[in-house]
Amino acid sequence: MSLKIGVLNISDRASAGIYADTPGQACIALLREWLVTPFELDYKIIPDERPVIEAELRRMADDSGCCLVVTTGGTGPAPRDVTPEATSAVCEKMLPGFGELMRATSLKFVPTAILSRQTAGVRGKTLIVNLPGRPKAIRENLEAVFPAIPYCVDLIGGPRLETNETVIKIYRPGS
């Protein structure tokens, strides 16, 4: 089985080519730095349109077979920010602990962390995790929740993810 991970940058301006996709590239760089298990990347930049986001999440989960999809952008309170709603709409199970820990982590840096509506959930055998839009915050947030991700992927029937333990320590109960 080829292991696939989806990276979905959700941004009107990045998808229109106005901005370079630094958030998506930041996610990819972290995954490559941390994971020693080889993986294939499913990478897309799309606008902040809820039906487009939902269709893309469904495609990455159901057709592409990604075990993990990380999104960046679209989690704030602005009218165009609809990533959490799209994520909830396609997931069977929500994991509120991801959003709680990411906000608590960002709160150590900025009081506006409470404006982030990031969440995570499970669709079939795919874990979907919303990340913020700024590369610095992406690293802080993904670093906080990543130690639980490989075990979560195990629990939902996905492939075994192994990391470079010198750069990030993960945890599997009983191991």
Give the contact letters, 131-160, x = binds to its own copies (CB under 8 A), - = no.
Answer: --------------x-xx--xx--xxx---
CA-wise closest residue to 80 among 28, 133, 17 = 133
Least Cβ distance, residue 64 to its own copies (angstroms): 20
Least Cβ distance, residue 57 to its own copies (angstroms): 16
Site for its own copies in 24-63 (CB under 8 A): none
Instruction: Please pick, from the candidates 20, 41, 112, 164, the single residue that binds its own copies as defined by CB under 8 A.
Output: 112
Q: Determine the Cα angle at 79 with ends 73 and 85, to 5°.
A: 60
Whole-angstrom distance, CA of residue 41 vs CA of residue 66: 9
Q: Which two tokens stand for residue 105?
A: 């982590």
DSSP 8-state secondary structure symbol assigned to residue 161:
P
Q: Does 103 bind its own copies (CB under 8 A)?
A: yes
CA-wise closest residue to 44 among 55, 32, 36, 33 = 55
Amino acid at 50: R
Whole-angstrom distance, CA of residue 125 vs CA of residue 119: 17
Least Cβ distance, residue 166 to its own copies (angstroms): 17
Least Cβ distance, residue 78 to its own copies (angstroms): 5
Least Cβ distance, residue 126 to its own copies (angstroms): 11
Question: Residue numbers of the site for its own copies (CB under 8 A)?
Answer: 76-79, 81, 85, 93-101, 103-104, 107, 110-117, 122, 127, 145, 147-148, 151-152, 155-157, 170-173
